[in-house]
């Protein structure tokens, strides 16, 4: 049994918490009022918007040492919806991994809208959670929790593939905002 | 009725030719032995691997003026399968557009494997062809030809979105080569 801490109580944090519970694993959710509360999960999901990640790291960096840290962000410029705010050859995940050298950092859940995590379907297809990272054990631990909760997973490769996952998340967000797809749809891996 | 020239007689060239014909539009296919033959289509699909594009432009740049030119490439480093060979903040399409200032250049078909173009399905889902470009009329012309041939299309946005489409194509290729998906599957837009 795995114990998962989720920082962020928005749509994504709640949907991921529900998946964790459904699989028989335990979960604790932290909102912004819970800053003083210690994280106890071996997996910690940073379910906050990209601009809020730096503050979470500043506040909880020490507590994240030794843990599997899951970055779910899409680091878009939300004013223009026309670019990412991370370097073109990098990713939010690479930045987070650099800031947390004692953690095993994974990218996951940035290519699945909250509704598709909650329902288990993207349109009529099953929801598949992409996971990228450099630590095979960490990826297997997260994949186990996610698949126990009823969602498929796929191993997208090394941490460097977070760049492509963020491109995919970016594209998918622009399509949803442009009403070319719905928030219950998107890219399904079949 | 549109007339389409396809340069490249590989799997993708043939699959795209079949879609064009199926929609009641006309198509001419050019192999490497047809260098002397003039292009007559108002749409020209560069259905050659990325490393061969520069030579096509060198040979046929003048003929491509005034035409809608469709780049379908995935500019991967095929030795490592770990990076693209275009600048991180650019795309093959942006390079081609810069080399062909008199053409209206589009990105399309780089996120659909040949088998999914030929069959019209990605797994059990319909195949959807992503089209990006800066010229709305050119995108509409290509989308009309593709949808007449029985495939869905989606407008991925401006030419700058080719970068994200190439990231998606890259990721999809690494998954197929790693046998995590089949060549009849991939990312379906639902």
A126, A184, A190: best mutation site toward chain B, by most B Cβ within 10 Å?
A190
The alpha helices in A149-189, defined as continuous H runs, are: 162-177
Domains and CATH numbers, chain B: 3-177 (3.40.50.720)
Cβ separation of A125 and B171 shorter than 8 Å?
A: no
Q: Please give the pLDDT value at position B128.
A: 98
Q: What is the ipTM of this complex?
A: 0.95
Q: Do the beta carbons of residue B128 and residue B153 sit within 8 Å?
A: yes
Q: Left (φ > 0), alpha (ψ -120 to 50) or beta: where does B135 sit?
A: beta
Q: Please give the pLDDT value at position B32.
A: 86
Cβ separation of A154 and B175 shorter than 8 Å?
A: yes
**Neighbouring C-beta atoms of residue A145, cutoff 10 Å:** 26
d(CA A40, CA A5): 7
For A115, the token pair is: 């509704």
- Put simply, the chain B residues between 78 and 137 with a CB less than 8 A from any chain A CB are 82, 87-89, 122-125
- Given B155, B165, B190, which is nearest A122 (Cβ)? B190
Q: Give the count of Cβ contacts less than 8 A between chain A and B.
A: 92
pLDDT in tens, A81-120: 999 999 999 999 999 999 999 999 999 999 999 999 999 9
Instruction: Indicate the SS3 state at residue A59.
Output: helix
Q: Please give the pLDDT value at position B42.
A: 98
Residue of B nearest to A121 (CA): B190
Q: Please give the pLDDT value at position A70.
A: 98
pLDDT in tens, B35-76: 899 999 999 999 999 999 999 999 999 999 999 999 999 999
Give helix B136-148 / helix B11-22 axis angle, nearest 10°: 80
User: Is residue A186 very low, low, confident or very high in pLDDT (cuts 50, 70, 90)?
Assistant: very high
Chain A residues with CB-CB distance to B111 below 8 A = none
User: Is residue B144 very low, low, confident or very high in pLDDT (cuts 50, 70, 90)?
Assistant: very high
Mean pLDDT score, B148-171: 98
Give the contacts of B64 (CB within 8 A, at least 6 positions apart): B39, B44, B57, B100, B102, B103
Q: Do the beta carbons of residue A171 and residue A81 sit within 8 Å?
A: no
Cβ separation of A188 and B190 shorter than 8 Å?
A: yes
Q: Please give the pLDDT value at position B185.
A: 97
Q: Please give the pLDDT value at position B59.
A: 95
pLDDT in tens, A57-82: 999 999 999 999 999 999 999 999 99
Asked whether residue A32 carries a pLDDT value surpassing 90, the answer given is no
Mean pLDDT score, A9-16: 98
Asked whether residue A22 carries a pLDDT value surpassing 90, the answer given is yes
Please state the three-class secondary structure of chain B as a single string: CCEEEEECCCHHHHHHHHHHHHCCCEEEEECHHHCCCCCCCCEEEECCCHHHHHHHHHHHHHHHCCCEEEECCCCECCCCCCCECCCCCCCHHHHHHHHCCCCEEEEECCCCCHHHHHHCEECCEECEEEEEECCHHHHHHHHHHHHHCCCEEEEEECHHHHHHHHHHHHHHHHHHHCCCCCCCCCEEEC
**What is the per-residue DSSP string for A139-154?**
HHHHHHHHHHTT-EEE
Measured in angstroms, the CA of B15 and the nearest CA of chain A are apart by 20
pTM above 0.90, yes or no: yes
- Listed residue (B100, B23, B181, B160) closest to A170, CA to CA: B160
Question: What percent of chain B has a predicted confidence (pLDDT) above 70?
Answer: 100
- Given A87, A163, A189, which is nearest B167 (Cβ)? A163
B184 touches chain A (CB under 8 A): no
Measured in angstroms, the CA of B89 and the nearest CA of chain A are apart by 5
Chain B residues with CB-CB distance to A158 below 8 A = 82
Mean pLDDT score, B16-32: 97
Mean pLDDT score, B115-143: 97
């Amino acid at each position: 049994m795995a114990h998962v801490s989720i920082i962020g109580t928005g749509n994504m944090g709640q949907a991921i918490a529900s998946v964790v519970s459904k699989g028989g694993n335990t979960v604790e959710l932290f909102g912004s009022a819970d800053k003083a509360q210690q994280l106890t999960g071996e997996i910690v999901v940073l379910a906050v918007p990209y601009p809020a990640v730096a503050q979470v790291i500043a506040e909880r960096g020490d507590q994240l040492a030794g843990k599997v840290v899951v970055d779910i962000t899409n680091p878009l410029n939300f004013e223009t919806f026309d670019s990412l705010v991370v370097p073109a050859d990098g990713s939010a995940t690479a930045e987070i991994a650099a800031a947390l050298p004692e953690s095993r950092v994974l990218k996951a859940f940035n290519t699945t809208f909250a509704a598709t995590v909650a329902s288990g379907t993207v349109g009529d297809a099953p929801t598949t959670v992409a996971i990228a990272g450099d630590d095979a054990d960490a990826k297997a631990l997260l994949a186990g929790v996610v698949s126990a909760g009823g969602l498929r997973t796929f191993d997208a490769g090394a941490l460097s593939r977070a760049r492509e996952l963020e491109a995919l998340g970016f594209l998918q967000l622009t399509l949803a905002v442009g009403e070319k797809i719905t928030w219950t749809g998107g890219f399904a891996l079949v």
